[in-house]
Amino acid sequence: MPEEFFSIAEPVRYEGPETDRTLAFRWYDPDRMVLGRRMEEHLRFAVCYWHSFTWPGGDPFGGQTLLRPWFGDTMEKARLKADVAFEMFRLLGVPFFTFHDRDIAPEAESLAESNRNVREIADLFGKKMESASVRLLWGTANLFSNRRYMAGAATNPDPEVFAYAAGQVKNALEVTHELGGANYVLWGGREGYETLLNTDLKRELNQLGRFLSMVVEHKEKIGFKGTILIEPKPQEPTKHQYDFDVGTIYGMLQAFGLEDRVKINIEQNHAILAGHSFEHEIALAAALGIFGSIDINRGDYQSGWDTDQFAMNVPEMALALYEILKAGGFTTGGLNFDAKIRRQSIDPDDLLIAHIGSMDAIARALLAAADMMEKGDLKSFVEERYSGWESDFGRSILGGGESLESLAAQVAEKDLRPQPKSGKQEFLEMLVDRHLGV
């Protein structure tokens, strides 16, 4: 019985920073107004199905540590899993959830039968969503677990695998549409290679472009109004993935003429694996006009793996949320907990604690980021730093009014001797710390 899985039956409430109860929010107060919007609307939290309800706790040296009554490959277990999942959505009060097709229903012998299983559970979701307040942030297809995908899905050397993946995505996209999903996500999974010795890189990139175009075409055909998102990741499971980072994906989208049709789902841990900071990836996506959504988690800075830990790091997240607020906040996107509890966290309530802790940390980071926006001290420093470009001289250069010759002549004529100015990094870091005090 799902009611008996967790230790509580009443939803977790905001009780303020002074409360001594573990299963309570100290900072996440959905109705609190921040910069003219409710906190819940700013953050648009989603619980993901895969880490919380399907992951058995394995690592490269050992298998299952988490025992769950719904583990198993039957539809009966899938229905029990859905009951517990919706119970957790209710207890946490999250506005959204996310899933892969294979998370929610068992894979069968044929594609048709697997798709039917997915539909059956999606129908159950639809019924549950009539009375629940949770909505679907995004759906996606798992194109990486089955051995048929070991050499990729869209980028497989065998066109029949491409076709199978297309059939799976068609179903997952349609189910997402029927459930009112706000977005649909594509993560490369195994769209990459292990060795160039067996790989026709140019051909595989073209295959990937064709696949993406087909997804966009089908989205338009069925009238899905949500956003198609691609999620970058540099490696793992493959040695090299084609959707390496935001900049690489933008180049790919441009090459296939899709830069206005597809946006990006940025994951913190993947940004770290790509050698970037999380806020860099957000700022770049925003600058390119392709910022979509976030997989919020925390990568380990030493291990070099996709550890997908729950984000509890307030100062770092404040910088990320500052970039999100500067970009105008979310439209269809949100903060999806692509995060898993550690394999030793075997108590059922550890699932609740992980989400509560991270929601509180992110809420706190939002308050700090909102303070950065309101006080505007960081912004005014940057504006002042670039103010020369707002002068007639600066505008003339960027507007195409100058040439190397004309600029060389002006330097000589005005005897220009530009003097360097301090970048004041420590001063700015000091300001950030002050904002963190709110």
- Catalytic positions: 100, 103
**Nearest to ligand XLS by Cβ — which residue?**
187
Q: Are 334 and 264 in contact (CB under 8 A)?
A: no
Does residue 323 interact with Ni ion by CB under 5 A?
no
360 touches which of Ni ion, ligand XLS, none (CB within 5 to 8 A by kind)? none
Burial degree of 396 (CB within 10 A; 0-12, 13-18, 19+): middle
What minimum distance in Å lies between the beta carbon of 188 and ligand XLS?
9
268 touches which of ligand XLS, Ni ion, none (CB within 5 to 8 A by kind)? none
What minimum distance in Å lies between the beta carbon of 82 and ligand XLS?
19
140 touches which of ligand XLS, Ni ion, none (CB within 5 to 8 A by kind)? ligand XLS
Which of 120, 136, 128 minimizes the C-alpha distance to 84? 128
Alpha helix (H) residue ranges in 34-110: 39-43, 49, 75-92, 101-104
Supply angle C-alpha 398, 282, 388, rounded to 5: 25
Helices (H) and strands (E) in the chain, counts: 16, 12
The β-bridge partners of 162 are none
Which of 354, 336, 332, 335 minimizes the C-alpha distance to 345? 354
Residue from 338, 351, 355, 371 in contact with ligand XLS (CB under 6 A): 338
Residue from 101, 174, 306, 360 in contact with Ni ion (CB under 5 A): 306
Q: Would strands 96-100 and 240-241 be described as parallel, antiparallel, or unpaired?
A: unpaired
The rounded distance, in Å, linking the Cα atoms of 8 and 352 is: 10
Does residue 322 interact with ligand XLS by CB under 6 A?
no
Does residue 295 interact with ligand XLS by CB under 6 A?
yes
Does residue 187 interact with ligand XLS by CB under 6 A?
yes
Subset of 125-154 contacting ligand XLS (CB under 6 A): 140
Instruction: Calculate the CA 312 to chain-centre distance.
Output: 16
Does residue 267 interact with ligand XLS by CB under 6 A?
yes
Does residue 279 interact with Ni ion by CB under 5 A?
no
**How many residues bind ligand XLS, per CB under 6 A?**
10
Using the CB atoms, write b or e for 305-316: b if 16+ within 10 Å: ebbbbbbebbeb
Residue from 29, 174, 243, 338 in contact with Ni ion (CB under 5 A): 338
Subset of 16-55 contacting Ni ion (CB under 5 A): none
Give the range of 123-131, 137-145, 295-303, 421-429 binding Ni ion by CB under 5 A.
295-303
Please state whether the peptide bond connecting residue 418 to the residue before it is cis, i.e. omega within 30 degrees of 0. Answer: no
Residues that bind Ni ion (CB under 5 A): 267, 269, 295, 306, 308, 338
Residues that bind ligand XLS (CB under 6 A): 100, 140, 185, 187, 231, 233, 267, 295, 306, 338
